[in-house]
Amino acid sequence: MKLRIALLTMTALPAAALSPAAMAQQTEWTAFHGNGMAQKYSASTQITPENVGQLEKVWEVHTGDVSDGSGDLPGTVWSATPILANDLLYIGTPFYRILAVEPDTGEIVWTYEPDSTVLEPLTQPELKNRGVTYWQDPEGGDGPCTRRVIIGTMDAHLHAVDADDGQLCEGFGESGILDVNQWNTPDANFPLSQLQPPTVFRDKLIVGWAGKDWHDADNPLGSVFGVDARTGERVWTFHSIPEDYEGLTGTSNVWTAMSVDEENGLVYLPVSSPSPDFYGGTRLDEIPLATSVTAVNGDTGQVEWSRQLVHHDIWDYDTVSAPTLVDIPGEGGSTPALVQPTKMGLAYVLNRLTGEPIFPIEEREVPQTDVEGEVSSATQPYPTLPKSPIGDDWGGVFGLADIASFGYCSRKFEDLRYEGRFTPPSTEGSLAFPATAGGMQWGGGAVDPENGILYINSSRVAQIYQLIEREEYSELTSGGSEATGGLFPQNGAPYGFRLTNFLNPMGMPCWKPPFGIMSAIDLKSGETLWERPFGQVQKWGFYMPESWGSPTIGGPVATASGLIFIGASMDARVRALDAATGDTLWKAQVDAPAVSIPAVYDYDDRQYVVFAVGGNSIIKPQVSDQLVAFALPED
Amino acid sequence: MPQSALAPDDNAREELAARLMAIPALLALIAALTELLWRGSGIAHTPGAWLAVAATAALFLGALLTGALRPGGFRTFLTVMLLVGGLLTILCAWFLESGLVMAAVAVMLVAWLIFILIAR
């Protein structure tokens, strides 16, 4: 059986990469999103809406690579997608180890442990990992490292190991380890952290990086590298910011996954915002590729087209997830499209060959800054369809939170500036809705390519953005995170920055529920088919009503049988939803919030759904190292 | 033997009814402890789970004590507190989605009603 599946893997991989039709038949899970098109779709049909209630846990593995931050190590954030390829299930950990396990039993086959890895929060407040990349040499062969697994580290190294035995691939980088930081700006203030596994394009690895864009204005300028997957040699470099900007700004990097259209030779880059995140007075000239979705030639790195999604970004609205590629079915034939979800809670549907909108995009006037030295953009691009799941307005003060805090929320709101989406940061404090921690996050959406329906989770989160003049800021102590809020110096800018979650003193959100939503959108018409609160908020162990929903981190998977599998919610449960209605058909408790994208695959004629359960302090201080598989009972 | 000699006296009946309250309260305590300590419960080691343990422990001890007390003001106070505590514990368990604790405390409240009906 193993040989049969190995042969199937070898033949199916290139086929699946080349043909969207073949993608629809996918029952493996060879990439972060299941396939290079970021569809998160499985053609598996064994588990159906009728029998999903019978799902049971069939195995679990605890990797041991977990920290709650109370000891010597920082806390861990584990958002890996398991990869099924080469007859094994591969997973990376926040300690930058790779585990290869049996797909049907969870038995560990081999483990790769790096000799020297820095387990320090060099760019992120916590140790973070989103898994591994699987690469199979398109030229075939069966020698060592013709199939390999790659993991990145926060200290900017890529480790490539043989997929069969976990031994380092000597021909890659220096003895199997590639130092990506060799391509960093000299004297850069942080390494080019490799937290998101590289994206595969034919015989290349497309390598982005993560940094620390809240601390300084002057950062490494955004770049993406096309790297020879066999040798680690850099073939091309994409730059998102003109070189003459060096010293004034930086980042506009690609820290999340990318997607690939192999047939048309394109790689799609979700480009993040420039630094500093919340003040743009030091970078007033246009940076057209910043906060954009940009298509580049996968062989050369040349820009084919680009569409900026936020002009002069001063909200940290990074383009946050790989765009989902899909051929939207239609009467006159299919349209090659991409869907780019955003932190603003807007989804842009574009022709992926040209970048032109499929549903019109309007430039709408937006509120203007009153901060000295800042010049905000007069307009921002709004897609007319699909409708934003989180709405265009924050909805007002949550009465229960207001009463429970004796009017704190109302009083606080009166002191804030709020004029709708894109209200700029201010010195008195601006309400940001959606805020940097909200909207659609890096998990992105799942699409059923057969019917062109997109399923996507989004979070309704309000935060307060306040700029603090340098003199005043110098008396404060920097620190914090996107989760807890905090103080960020924005060195090089005339203002530091305070981020505050808009909560009452008891920790209740001051904005109205739902806090998290799952939506189904028909990409043929742009119409929203259904929209439901998703997940449950949990505080001190108490579950809040289902109608409140939960903020989410992680993404869904759609199956051909009409199911959506997703963890992502605060309540540490994984769920199966009915794709037709959004009803929850099955749920199971796991050890922490499953802030990841599940893998769905068939193995030995049995369908498995596997979640990496790691937790993320952004939604709840609960971590785990659990890898857990569910399947139907065997007859 | 006359029928009256076979019937338990009032004290014994009340003590029995109080024990009937204590049994489901003990089961609720065991369920709450299990959920506090079992990693897969979804509420392990949370303040809410600790509160459920404290509440069910108080119900158990209160039920035992009620059975041991003679009628009087303190027993009446305890009896009222058992009702209030039971209802609040059910509310707590509802928010914890702890069906076992809710069910056990509900049974305890039925036993409480029996106790009220026979108590002097």
Interface membership of B34 toward A (CB under 8 Å): no
A-chain residues within 8 Å CB-CB of B43? 541
Please give the biggest Cα pair distance in chain A.
71
Give me the residue label for tokens 């749920």.
A587
Which of A550, A589, A625 has the most B C-beta neighbours within 10 Å, making it the best mutation to test the interface with B? A589
Tokens matching residue A180: 């990506």
Taking CB atoms and an 8 Å limit, are A591 and B48 in contact across chains?
no
Going by C-alpha positions, the residue among A541, A132, A213, A521 that lies closest to residue A341 is: A521
Q: What is the domain partition of chain B in residue ranges?
A: 3-118
Which of A538, A584, A624 has the most B C-beta neighbours within 10 Å, making it the best mutation to test the interface with B? A538
Taking CB atoms and an 8 Å limit, are A541 and B48 in contact across chains?
yes
With cut-offs at 50, 70 and 90, classify the pLDDT of residue A25.
Answer: low
Annotated catalytic sites of A, by residue?
316
Taking CB atoms and an 8 Å limit, are B40 and A589 in contact across chains?
yes
pLDDT exceeds 80 at position A439? yes
A-chain residues within 8 Å CB-CB of B96? 541-543
Of the ranges A182-186, A222-226, A269-273, A409-413, which one carries the lowest mean pLDDT score? A182-186
**How distant is the Cα of A68 from the closest Cα of chain B, in angstroms?**
14
Stronger pLDDT, B120 or B44, i.e. the higher one? B44
Across the interface, of B41, B47, B97, the residue whose CB is closest to A543 is: B97
pLDDT exceeds 80 at position A451? yes
Q: How far is the C-alpha of A196 from the C-alpha of A158, rounded, in Å?
A: 11
Taking CB atoms and an 8 Å limit, are B42 and A542 in contact across chains?
no
Angle at CA of residue A274, ends A273 and A277, nearest 5°: 80
The model's pLDDT over A520-565, given as tens digits with 9 standing for 90+, comes to 999 999 999 999 999 999 999 999 999 999 999 999 999 999 999 9
The alpha carbon dihedral of A91, A94, A98, A104 has a sign of: negative
With cut-offs at 50, 70 and 90, classify the pLDDT of residue B5.
Answer: very low
The alpha carbon dihedral of A5, A9, A10, A15 has a sign of: positive
Interface membership of B2 toward A (CB under 8 Å): no
CA distances from A146 to A164, A205, A320, A557, A615 (A): 10, 14, 32, 29, 34
B5's enclosing H/E stretch is helix B3-6
Please tell me the pTM assigned to this model: 0.93
Q: What is the domain partition of chain A in residue ranges?
A: 2-631
Residue A331, pLDDT score: 86
Q: Mean pLDDT across the stretch A597-624? A: 94
Tell me the DSSP string of B14-51. HHHHHHHHHHHHHHHHHHHHHHHH-GGGS-TT-HHHHH
Tell me the DSSP string of A254-266. --S--EEETTTTE
Taking CB atoms and an 8 Å limit, are A541 and B39 in contact across chains?
no
Taking CB atoms and an 8 Å limit, are A591 and B40 in contact across chains?
yes
B-chain residues within 8 Å CB-CB of A620? none
Residue B17, pLDDT score: 84
Going by C-alpha positions, the residue among B55, B63, B83, B77 that lies closest to residue B14 is: B63
Radius of gyration of chain B (CA): 16
Taking CB atoms and an 8 Å limit, are B41 and A589 in contact across chains?
yes
Interface membership of B48 toward A (CB under 8 Å): yes
Tell me the DSSP string of A487-512. EE--BTSSEEEEEEE-B-TTS-BSBP
Closest CA in chain A for residue B91: A542
Averaged confidence pLDDT in chain A: 94
A-chain residues within 8 Å CB-CB of B48? 540-542
Across the interface, of B40, B47, B97, the residue whose CB is closest to A540 is: B47
Angle at CA of residue A158, ends A155 and A161, nearest 5°: 140
Domain covering A2-631 assigned CATH 2.140.10.10 in the classification:
yes
Residues 6+ apart with CB under 8 A from A512: A395, A396, A397, A398
